[in-house]
Structure 1
Amino acid sequence: MKKDAQFDLAIAKLAFKTHHFAFELGRAFFEQFDQSLIQEGDLHADLDLTKTDRLLTLDFHIKGTVRLTCDRSLEEFDQPIDVQHQLLVRYGDQDLELDEDVFQITPDTQTLPVAQHLFDYIGLAIPMKKLHPRFQNEPDENPEADSKLIFSTRSDADENDDEPSDPRWDALRNLN
């Protein structure tokens, strides 16, 4: 990934209050990443950062369109994206990713890069099956796709077993 300082937040200089940041995400933004999923888009990202003495709360709202290729017809189309996501960054003795939405940084950290988070949130909003809008209202080719999956731990071989069962298991089966 190429580094663009535009997406680095200077958190050391921020006061303890809520700050608003706005980013325009276009072709240049997506070219920073070595990937083939998204080549271009026209998105606007709003970021509200609330800073306290122990925690940074980042509320992302990303809205716009990304250019995708249809899986069925290989035509390009614009997929609308509207994402809201929250990221928590707490202070600790080392830099760690504690959870997918919780990070830990050291108190002497000067900047917080958000480009990768913006890209990840956009990527998660893209559907697994990328269909051109003209195909989205067609019925699915597999009629059994909507059927329910029923799971049973008992197999047919268990039912036809003529061996006597252990009485301890029979007593446990009666506990309902």
Structure 2
Amino acid sequence: MKELKEFTIPFVGLKIGEHWFEFTIEKPFFEHFEYNEFNDAGVKLNVLLVKKATLLEFTLYYKGTVNVNCDVSNEPYDQKIDGQYRFVVKFGEDNNLEDEDLLVLPYGSHEVNIQQFVYESIILAVPIKKVHPGIEDGTLKSDILDKLEELRPKAKNENPEGDQIDPRWNELKKLLTDK
């Protein structure tokens, strides 16, 4: 995958210590990864780079909203996301693929691209089940919710027609309890 240049951080000229970088993440960033679950995105990203003599420590702080479709009603809404992610960059010949919080760069590297870490941390900050806040507090009105309520299974003792239950069913239910 092609690297986005704005997420490439040159660390060679930086002094040992803390360095801050700011980014704004929008929908084109996710389109670059061919991720189409977001209708829109507006996330502020602050990156803390702590440069040490033999390694680099990154902490990503992100906060904002992504517009997603509700899993229940399919209505779009803004899902707030907020979090942080830490990873370490080491230098060496061995490419360690077992630890997702460790990136090994070859000796002589002068820059690091953090786009994959940014992408994964934001995607994982979105809840697995996306439910519109209007569904939880009962303020959302939609045809889909009305139809779901209409088709909702009735309780065991609820008989919507008010008809008498066939007495043969009661005899069959006794078989389940007579063990």
The TM-score with structure 2 as length reference comes to 0.71
Residue 77 of structure 1 corresponds to: 77
Match of 2:15 in 1: 15
Write the letter of the residue equivalent to 1:79.
Q
Q: CA RMSD in A?
A: 2.0
- Write the letter of the residue equivalent to 2:136: Q
2:87 counterpart SS class: strand
Query: Residue 51 of structure 1 corresponds to which residue in structure 2?
Result: 51
Q: In 2, are the aligned partners of 1:41 and 1:65 still within 8 Å (CA)?
A: yes
Contact 1:30 1:40 in 2 (8 A): no
The answer to which of 129-138 and 106-115 deviates more is: 129-138
- Amino acid corresponding to residue 44 of structure 1 in structure 2: K
SS in 2 for 1:94: coil
Counterpart in 2 of 1:86?
Answer: 86
Distance 1:71 1:109 in 2: 44
Count of residues in Structure 1 that have an aligned counterpart in Structure 2: 140
Distance 1:90 1:14, change over 3 A: same
1:26/1:41 contact within 8 Å kept: yes
Aligned-pair identity in percent equals 30
Greater Rg by CA? 2
Corresponding residue for 2:174? none
Higher helix share: 2
Partners of 1:36 and 1:93 in 2: CA distance: 36
5+ residue gaps, structure 2: 139-151, 153-179
Cα drift, residue 100 of structure 1: 1.5
2:67 aligns with 67
Q: Structure 1's 116 and 38: CA in aligned 2 closer, same or farther, altered over 3 A?
A: farther
Other structure's SS at 2:103 match: strand
Deviation at 1:2, TM superposition (A): 4.3
Separation in 2 of the partners of 1:134 and 1:60?
A: 31
